[in-house]
Amino acid sequence: MNNNDVIKFLNSWKDGVIGIGNKFIEDANYIDEAKLFLDRHYAFDNAKVLFKPTFTKEVIFRNDKESALSYFINGDIAEDNGFAIKPWKSIDALDINFMLEEKVSVVMGVLNLKPYHKGLDTKIAFTFVLDTFNGDIKIKAHHSSPISN
């Protein structure tokens, strides 16, 4: 895994979140889009995943695919507002830091999320622990939290 692999993965992750929101806006099948996003970017089908989403207070961790899906699309967990269906117009990665190793790597940085509709940008700090499965990079641990303005 090298810097280019990780940057390509981060861009795919950002595009995936925006893509879920676009399907939601179009009144298309955003739920299946979100399931594909999770399969493509998270290792739930390959290994244990630790996931601490940005905006959680009551159910802090989403360590299985169903609760992660709920977080992204406003599913079964009451506090979920649908992170991906807010929706976001753009997501810019800032101040990216890498710790790259042959198989498992860590990337952390800041994401600036611009809402599709009116509203203030949201900045979050994130850390992804990445691993490879059959040549595909996937998230094994995801921690993110809001940055106060």
Domain boundaries, the chain: 3-146
Strands (E), 1-135: 50-52, 88-99, 105-115, 122-133
Tell me the per-residue pLDDT of 93-104, one tens digit each, with 9 for 90 and over: 999 999 988 778
Tell me the per-residue pLDDT of 12-35, one tens digit each, with 9 for 90 and over: 999 999 999 999 999 999 999 999
DSSP H or E run through 138: strand 136-146
Dihedral angle computed from the Cα positions of residues 83, 23, 43 and 48, in that order, rounded to the nearest 10 degrees:
40
Tell me the per-residue pLDDT of 105-133, one tens digit each, with 9 for 90 and over: 999 999 999 999 888 999 999 999 999 99
Kindly state the tokens that stand for 89.
């117009």
Do the Cβ atoms of 10 and 40 come closer than 8 Å? no
| Backbone φ and ψ of 138, nearest 5° | -140, 155
Rg (the chain; Cα; Å):
14
Span 83-94, mean pLDDT? Answer: 94
The DSSP output letter for 74 is: T
Question: Does the pLDDT at position 148 exceed 80?
Answer: no
- Using DSSP's 3-state secondary structure scheme, residue 61 falls into coil
Domain 3-146 matching CATH 3.40.50.300: the answer reads no
